[in-house]
Amino acid sequence: MFWAHLTGLFKILAGALLDFIYPPYCCLCRSRLQQGEKVVCEDCWGEVKPLGGPFCPNCGYPVEPDADGCPMCQQRGWSFQRVEILTDFEPAVQQLIHLLKYKGKRSVGTRLGVMLAQVLRGRPRWQKADLIIPVPLHKSRLRERGYNQSFLIGKALGEKLRKPLRPELLVRKRSTRSQTKLNVAERIENVSGAFRVNHPEQLDGKRIILVDDIITTGATADACSRILVSAGAKEVLVAAVAAPINP
Ligand SMILES: [Zn+2]
Ligand SMILES: [Zn+2]
How far does the centroid of ligand 1 lie from the alpha carbon of residue 29, in Å?
Answer: 4
The pLDDT, as a whole number, for residue 247 is: 47
How far does the centroid of ligand 1 lie from the alpha carbon of residue 27, in Å?
Answer: 7
The predicted-structure confidence for 115-124, as pLDDT tens digits, reads as follows: 999 999 989 9
Q: At 222, which helix (H) or strand (E)?
A: helix 219-230
- What's the CATH number of domain 47-243, 3.40.50.2020, 3.40.50.1010, 3.30.565.10, 3.20.20.70? 3.40.50.2020
Phi, psi (deg, nearest 5) at residue 120: -85, -15
How far does the centroid of ligand 2 lie from the alpha carbon of residue 90, in Å?
Answer: 21
CA dihedral of 104, 110, 116, 122, whole degrees rounded to 10: 170
d(CA 90, CA 94): 6
How far does the centroid of ligand 1 lie from the alpha carbon of residue 48, in Å?
Answer: 12
Choose among 108, 88, 139, 134: nearest CA to 45: 108
SS3 annotation, 21-66: HCCCECCCCCCECCCCCECECHHHHCCCCCCCCCECCCCCCECCCC
d(CA 160, CA 178): 32
- Give the domain ranges of the chain: 1-38, 47-243
Choose among 94, 78, 10: nearest CA to 44: 94
The predicted-structure confidence for 7-20, as pLDDT tens digits, reads as follows: 777 777 777 777 66
Any residues with CB less than 8 A from the CB of 209 and at least 6 apart, and which?
Answer: 120, 126, 129, 131, 132, 133, 154, 157, 161, 163, 236, 237, 238, 239
**Ligand whose nearest atom lies closest to the CA of 24:** 1
**End-to-end CA separation in angstroms for the chain:** 65
The pLDDT, as a whole number, for residue 8 is: 78
How far does the centroid of ligand 1 lie from the alpha carbon of residue 101, in Å?
Answer: 18
Taking phi over 0 as left and psi of -120 to 50 as alpha, with beta for the rest, 101 belongs to alpha
How far does the centroid of ligand 1 lie from the alpha carbon of residue 60, in Å?
Answer: 31
The predicted-structure confidence for 68-109, as pLDDT tens digits, reads as follows: 888 888 877 889 999 999 999 999 999 999 999 999 999 999
Task: Provide the pLDDT confidence category of residue 158 given band limits of 50, 70 and 90.
Answer: very high
